[in-house]
Chains A and B, each alone.
Chain A
Amino acid sequence: MGANIFITEETVDGADDGPLAGTTVAVKDNLSTEGVRTTCGSAMLEDYVPPYDATVVERLKDAGATIVGKTNMDEFGMGGTTETSAFGPTENPVDAERVPGGSSGGSAAAVAAGEADVALGTDTGGSVRNPAAFCGVVGIKPTYGLVSRYGLVAYANSLEQVGPIGSTVEDAAALLDVISGADERDATTRFDESMGTHPAADSEYAAAADGDVEGLTVGVVADLLDGADDRVVETFEQSVSDLESRGAEVVEVSLESVEHAVQAYYVIAMSEASSNLARYDGVRYGLSTGKDGNWNETYAETREEGLGEEVKRRILLGTYALSAGYHDKYYKKAQDARAWIKQDFDAAFEEADVLATPTMPVLPPKLGESLSDPLQLYLMDANTVPVNLANLPAISVPAGEADGLPVGLQLIGPKFGEETMIRAASAVEN
């Protein structure tokens, strides 16, 4: 297959019976799979074979799913097009000249191309929703804490969640039913000690995809339409008025703070990345180059060789943002922006049950077209990153096509409001 969807193709059979029996699943290559190499799209981990399964992978197997391979991705999740992989770019199954979006581009492409029924991706700033939108499939970024992160090779811990991708809302929701829930190995899933419960315990996500939006209030985030491509806005608006004709009430909401979301996101993500990626020293695992010189020299040499340009760029910018003299200017201000964005969303959910935006402000670019200017690439994330900063759930669902290319509609729910969001999304696709 020429589309470069998988880094490793390998069949791993799950339990004989379960809710996913007979279902094939593609797994992003930053989720640990016991005995199957897990590269994160990086030369640094080209030969790394985890000795254990991520919790989500364990749950797939227990549910009877068959894993068909590990999917291509932007190196360590850093990118929006799946072109920064050390194993080469993935082609978009809708149009082979275009990017599938990223960083979970291989996972979205696997579903769009029919190589797997469903797939797992991870979403730090939009990395499940972006490729879902560009490939014309459905992607869900769950509320922070709904799904275990144990065994996920971390990029930015406070932002990222594992999320399902499917060709329908119901398929993606059924996968969420399987992977969500508390995990004693990941304290971030145990959010409610006093109640002793986890929200997934009584939730049925697949059953919520019933298309019933009668009486639901949808808030259109006006601030995020201004900078978007006209063709995207037109398709988005058509889709929103379809929702209205199905009984939803549409209101306009404003989120003043989102103007600062991209800056805040990148400062926080790069800072966390610079700290997380310090683990790649080539001693305990991964590429090792230097044989001479002291530890510092060998370490720096290994990292020069094993890490790609975008990863180096983010490690360096993160190190800079956290360094003495700049911490207050960048990192502290970014945390202020994050708190402001949360407050803004809380206010918006006083007026609406779910919020709607185009998932991506642009149509999928051609391969190679967007890599030269990192800042322009970061700006593509304007509609998705506010959700991660506020730890909220969101879904991207196909809204239609413009010039033959898919356009995604993003619906954002309140904290642990996945069922409402899934219900609304299922009305969009009908």
Chain B
Amino acid sequence: MTTDSLPVRTDVRPQPPKDSRPARRSLRTRLRPGAGRQHHAGPLTYLLLTVAALVSLFPLYWTMVAASTDNTRVSQTPPPFLPGPHLLENLGKAWQDAALGKAMVNSFIVAGVIALSTVLFATLAGFAFAKLRFKGRNILLMLVIGTMMVPPQLSVVPLFMMMTDLGWGQKLPAVIFPTLVSAVGVFFMRQYLSEALPDELVEAGRIDGAHSLRIFWSIVLPIARPPMAVLFMITFVHAWNDFFWPFIVLDMTNPTVPVALTQLSAGYIRDQSLIMAGALLGTLPLLVMFVVFGRQIVGGIMQGAVKG
């Protein structure tokens, strides 16, 4: 942490945070705002942000601690702050007690299929709304935006009847089908493609005699790859964590992870360290994803991906 002033840059591009060092805040640097980044962070900012990061991460850390001790140690006062020796043992037990093996496989299938289909259909529809001319385009787009306002929870009663009639009760398709598409995804792809896909490219494809699907395949898809990746991850997170509908339509013989976790709290096993081990296992796949792709996910959310 050096305090020597950096040479004052006169360009007005927002600087990447990497090469900006906390410098002594002369008036000149203070009044030289980058786009939105108008000031260097002071020690207080770092302190507050560190507290925020701790609050965010501590419950997860503590889950790990609790999952690695035994039941009597968890409930002592003061509570333990350091991991104990029983982590793997507890993870193994929780894995069996909550039938987490099957739940994990189910969750991967559900979240994977939903994320794939959401991305595919959102890109198709987003491309049509962004670049193709057709009658009723604006009205239909308004309709898509309007559907965002319909909370999915309101249709659970007839959905449950439908799924029972179809013989899909307790089966994965009952969870997958209602969420195969997402209005937010369509809107997100449309916004991106309106800006990122030049009209000339589409025209050029037409002149070469390519039909629409061909244009979509060879011109749109390569350009749309980054937002598709982001949409995939965010949809995956939401589908993995979805609770209300899966909880209603699935049972403990064939659960997704969040549904299986309720089994742990339902009182048959009041073993706190096992409960925590289960919670940790259920969160692990997404945590790994966030550690690996954290930067991309942050970028995606900031590009205007939306709470689903």
| A, B co-complexed | no
